[in-house]
Chain A
């Protein structure tokens, strides 16, 4: 995996995913190790994503690396009309690895073909965000002890959320039973559902959140965005249907954990936060360990 770019979750095998998760566990025990002191990490954010950028920069800095980069394209030469190709070719000269977020789908794959250093995709439009998927897998494994044979519910916008798409595809390797809860307008696309069917995995599909809660080990909440609806009335009809309140968790399994890729708006009420089942902020912390594992592995400082 040394010098190998990470663009899509499918670029790494199941065994490689496990190696990253195991290494992330080691960094969780010892997050401050100066193993990247001689390295420069470039974070190129062609569109802003404060959370993801800071998580990467925290991971790199805790390992002793220097971080250079920009946080949105208005502060880069993109505004002068420079092509992505030229930007990547130039910045490749200044660093050992590039972490990039870009609004166009496929931009990270293209960058990995022109760059002389490895690329980590931190989100390319609606396409892929593999480090989010790995941190989700890490969080699931850590809280449930294993990734195998779990009941996982995905709730909210299953149509447009790339986080959901990638995680569903990754979990298809682990005999997961899926519970897909969404408004009819925001159902999981058939291309993703195909991955579930190809593996002959069980799944349920419904519009009701409450009824799946007692059945699942992981409740993965997502935000429903108003702009996804052609008719604002349709949004008004469903907006309160997919809000998780603490009272709804009474019949839940004791091992249930609630996850959310964040930012949350109103889909989880704040009274859930103090419930030990709430895991979304720890999930974000886990992202730092997973990104440390990826940086160290791809830069070749750990086996």
Chain B
């Protein structure tokens, strides 16, 4: 009986208002924090990783109080955590749930892995076409080289 109660207990406390980013691959939690510039976040920020998940085995979760992300920020999350779900919370209630989707294009989010690309040598915004959403392969609009998941770095 006691075990049953424990299991249902939330591993991470609820937030009153803000955004919950759930189903983050465990290995990507800290990358997501970095991409979203949350390392300097001044309000309450709850982070957990390696939680049991029926869907994914292990998962991470981030709860950000009083923060509602814009769509270009959501795009950035999708590039490292395509499985992530966003839950908008107001007054402890779920207002909206949405999946993040890998975008068709990524503008000024990802850095080109090719050191000889003009975007790494002049003040030029990067532009990529996502040519493989599953394995995550991005073709640079400028140098035409393909940046794959293992080489991905953010601006």
Interfacial residues, chain A to chain B (CB-CB below 8 A): 8, 83-85, 102-107, 109-110, 124-128, 191
Contact = CB atoms under 8 A, between A and B. Distances in A.
Nearest to B123: A83
Interface in B6-20: none
Given A126-B116, A191-B146, A106 B123 contact: no
A109 B143 CA distance: 8
10 contacts: A83-B122, A85-B122, A102-B118, A103-B116, A104-B118, A106-B117, A106-B118, A107-B142, A109-B142, A126-B116
A244 B29 CA distance: 57
B123 A104 contact: no
Contacts of B119: 106
Nearest to B144: A127
Interface SS, B side: loop
Contacts of A128: 144
Contact of A105 (B123, B144, B146): B144
Contacts of A109: 118, 141-142
A95 to B, nearest CB: 21
Nearest to A8: B144
B86 interface: no
Given A104-B116, A105-B117, A127 B143 contact: yes
A191 B144 CA distance: 11
Contacts of B143: 104-106, 124-125, 127
Nearest to B124: A110
B140 interface: yes
Contacts of A125: 116, 143
